[in-house]
Structure 1
Amino acid sequence: MAAEPVFVLPGDHIDPSLIPSHPKKALRLGPGLRHVPPTDVLPTLAGQLVTDRQKNAIRVETSEGHYVPRVGELVIGTVNKSAADVYYVFLSDHTAPVLLPQLSFESATRKTRPMLAPGALVYARVSLANKHMDPEIECVSATTGKSDGLGPLAGGMLFNISLGMARRLMLPKTAADGEVAVLDEFASLGLQFETATGRNGKFWVDSDSAKTVIAVGRAIQETDERRLSVQDQKKLVKALIKGLN
């Protein structure tokens, strides 16, 4: 059973048992937290406290606000323009673009690299993120040289979702841990579609049926905006399925 979520307000005391510890790795404080010497960790934002004990990291997750790139996170970006060796890619509205090296694709060379026009979508991983340099993303694994499912997203439709919903969709067990059942419900009823979720609040859907694309995207957005329970999600899916017939 998934642990109950812990929500914090700015200045709240955080129970030491919630702060991960590792014998070799230093504690990594993410957005929404600050260190108060000697040992206190205080939230600076209101939201859900999220820990990653394997990475010895902790942060405050907010559903709203703009996305802050973090190394290793999967994102969906929109190509803005290209330069000599990089693409400039937007991860969210009203923020500066990140850099996508044109050779950061599987088996890419100067002759075989993908030619991405403005408006093209890419599924990528954040490879560089610090306050002193422009963030970078990549569409290839630095260790294997393979795409691992990353790269241009052709066709389909992109939907905006909250950062909180994006996190829920990217949990290993979306229905059980994230309490998002609509995708499993659609699949169990025979709909065929493909999805990709960006940690930056983007949800992409593709299918041979345009109606299916719209139904799946709409279901995720309504679940997000109306904060539907699992039972209400199932009712929503049934209603949308009727509209497809």
Structure 2
Amino acid sequence: MATANSRPTVLPGDEIDPSLIPQSKNKPLRLGPGLRHIPPNTILPTVAGQLITLPHKSSMWVEYNSNRYTPTASDLIIGTILRSGPDFYYVSLSPYTASATLPHLSFEGATKKTRPQLVPGSLVYARVTLANKHMDPELECASASTGKADGLGPLTGGMVFDVSLGFARRLLMGRSRQEGKVEVLELLGGDEGKLSFETAVGRNGKVWVGSENTKTVVIVGRALKETDEKGLGVEAQRKLVRRLVKETR
């Protein structure tokens, strides 16, 4: 069975070998970008790239170079409020993606009187609940089953930094050591950087960084951008963190 370190190249329309598909008795298979399920059991790539599988999460997707974000159900995204309608907020996900809808009451504990009052330009951390080519994407900021936000909701203060879609994916996979060893955030908050901050990572290539210290926000943003753009390994990330922290003290 393939793992994140075993990356066969796939082409559009080539059926995925069943031996490469994660099998789990407890978790349903989750297909990410670049794959399509054709009932009953066929999985086809829709783009050319490397097939990535994570057996422990029963998930798989195709890693490919793209500057355009395509919404997929369950994606975590950082969106910008465009305007408010009678029942929904209209949210921008990227310059090349149709605006998404976010119900006014899709926030933890929200009622018509207590729901967040979000103005154009406000940021939200949300989950994609519906995504297909025939309808605009739909979002939620609280689980439909539990009503809990689980970290989703309005983002106040801080700054948003644009990163590549591939880098955002790597950050969202738990900063897995298997997935490219992206450890820059841990280094910044650990003994190397000793910085205090919080982040939210959007699958649409956006990272929000919040901190009471503006310099910290700038350092974290610069570290993320440089790690992404230069494809830095762990040791290079460590050196980068040391340099940025030293420069701003």
TM-score, reference length from structure 1: 0.87
SS at match of 2:74: coil
Matched, 1:4 2:8: no
2:140 to 138, 141, 155: 138
- One-letter code aligned to 2:215: K
CA contact (8 A) 1:8 1:43 kept: no
CA displacement at 1:163 relative to structure 2: 1.4
Q: Could you report, residue by residue, the CA deviation over 1:99-138 in whole angstroms, capped at 9, with x for unpaired residues? A: 0011111111111111111111000111122233221101
CA contact (8 A) 2:142 2:149 kept: yes
Residues 63-212 of structure 1 mapped to structure 2, 5 A cutoff = 63-172=65-174, 174=175, 176-178=177-179, 179-188=181-190, 189-212=193-216
- Give the RMSD, CA atoms, in angstroms: 2.8
SS at match of 1:104: coil
User: Structure 2 vs 1, CA of residues 58 and 26 (structure 1 numbering), >3 Å: closer, same or farther?
Assistant: same
SS at match of 2:66: coil
- Whole-angstrom distance in 2 between the partners of 1:60 and 1:84: 38
Runs (5+) with no aligned partner, structure 2: none
User: Structure 2 vs 1, CA of residues 96 and 3 (structure 1 numbering), >3 Å: closer, same or farther?
Assistant: closer
CA displacement at 1:35 relative to structure 2: 7.1
Runs (5+) with no aligned partner, structure 1: none
- Whole-angstrom distance in 1 between the partners of 2:185 and 2:57: 29
CA contact (8 A) 2:10 2:51 kept: no
SS at match of 1:6: coil
What percentage of residue pairs aligned between the two structures are identical?
56
SS at match of 1:196: strand
- How many residues align? The count is 243
User: Structure 2 vs 1, CA of residues 22 and 171 (structure 1 numbering), >3 Å: closer, same or farther?
Assistant: closer
2:228 to 224, 234, 237: 224
Q: Could you report, residue by residue, the CA deviation over 1:61-84 in whole angstroms, capped at 9, with x for unpaired residues? A: 224232222222211101111111
SS at match of 1:49: strand
- Whole-angstrom distance in 1 between the partners of 2:26 and 2:178: 29
- One-letter code aligned to 1:230: V
